[in-house]
Amino acid sequence: MLILRWRAMRVWMSFLTFSLVGLLAGCGGSGQQPVAQKAAPPPTIVFMTDFGTANDAVAICKAVMLGIAPDARIMDITHQVTPFSIEDAARFLAGVTPYYPSGTVFIVVVDPGVGTARKALIVKSKKGQYFVVPDNGLMTPVLDRDGLDGAHEITNTSWMIGDNVSSTFHGRDIFSPTAAHLAEGADWTQAGHAVTDLVRWTAPVATVDEKGATGQVIALDDPFGNLITDVQADDFKTKLGYAFGDKVTLKIGGKQYTLPFEKTFGALPVGQPLVYIDSRGRVAIAVNQGDASKKFGVTPPVPVFIPAKGK
């Protein structure tokens, strides 16, 4: 009996000793294992142009960026912005920026005024995002929503590709190297002097009264050909009184159509047109698995009128 008790005691003492050693190791003793540090993510540059993909312009700009910031991730919004359309650029930029974190560098080259007196800017929003853009108003929707922290004109030639700057390719010579320097952590205030007055762009807004909403088809949702209007969903539902399942008699470019208001495309047979609310809260017209712009012969901008329900 004494032997059994002695063995039990030894087992218990061994357990306590093992536990104490483990506790000491976990509290910084000699047995502590180093905690692996999570590597910082590479800097992110988000790129958008109206250059298209039938030439080498986008590839050249990316090569310039990577030559300065080789670890950067370059993400594309699109390079199929309607040529010269500040409106499209502003709309796409405002739609994308909420999904990227503070510190992201955006470069947008939709620049019909390239080579003129228009400024090349670095703009910082109060969200902490940086934008390398021409001063032509395309920043307006983002700044109206997120606020302006500051802006500097890009005049320091060390932020450019060199002294020999082209008059027609600032995307390569000014915007791309500047975006790369920002991604590398350079002090953005050194790019040039501060600017307080930025060019503003006024987005078209539909007017709504007791008769209905008067606005425009402002864009196509390519490649599907959906017609995007500037009529807001809240106005359409609350002020005009429409609900899912209603028939909507509207005019597009002066021609009258009666279309069902549905929640999604598949609510109708293939080839049938409908009115719906797009993902950004605007009234739009589509054809289920078809092209509304071709069906209705519409190229934006064209006027649209939606009467109040029952009018």
What's the pLDDT at 180? 97
Q: Give domain limits for the chain.
A: 44-191, 207-307
**In CATH, which of 2.40.420.20, 2.40.30.90, 1.20.210.10, 3.40.309.10 is domain 207-307?**
2.40.30.90
Quick one: tokens of 86?
A: 């500040």
What's the pLDDT at 36? 59
pLDDT (tens digit, 9 = 90+) per residue, 62-96?
999 999 999 999 999 999 998 999 999 999 999 99
Contact 69, 184 (CB under 8 A): yes
CB neighbours of 125 closer than 8 A, spacing ≥ 6?
Answer: 97, 131, 142, 143, 146, 147, 148, 149
Torsion sign over Cα 250, 255, 260, 264: negative
Name the phi and psi angles at 185, rounded to 5.
Answer: 95, 15
Quick one: tokens of 187?
A: 């002090």
What's the pLDDT at 38? 65
Query: What is the overall mean pLDDT for the chain?
Result: 89
Q: How many angstroms from the chain centroid is the CA of residue 60?
A: 22
Which residues of the chain carry a pLDDT beneath 70?
1-39
Pairing type for strands 226-232 and 302-307 reads unpaired
**In CATH, which of 3.40.50.10790, 3.90.1150.10, 3.40.50.300, 3.30.230.10 is domain 44-191?**
3.40.50.10790
pTM score, whole prediction: 0.78
Closest CA to 244 of 209, 205, 283, 207: 283
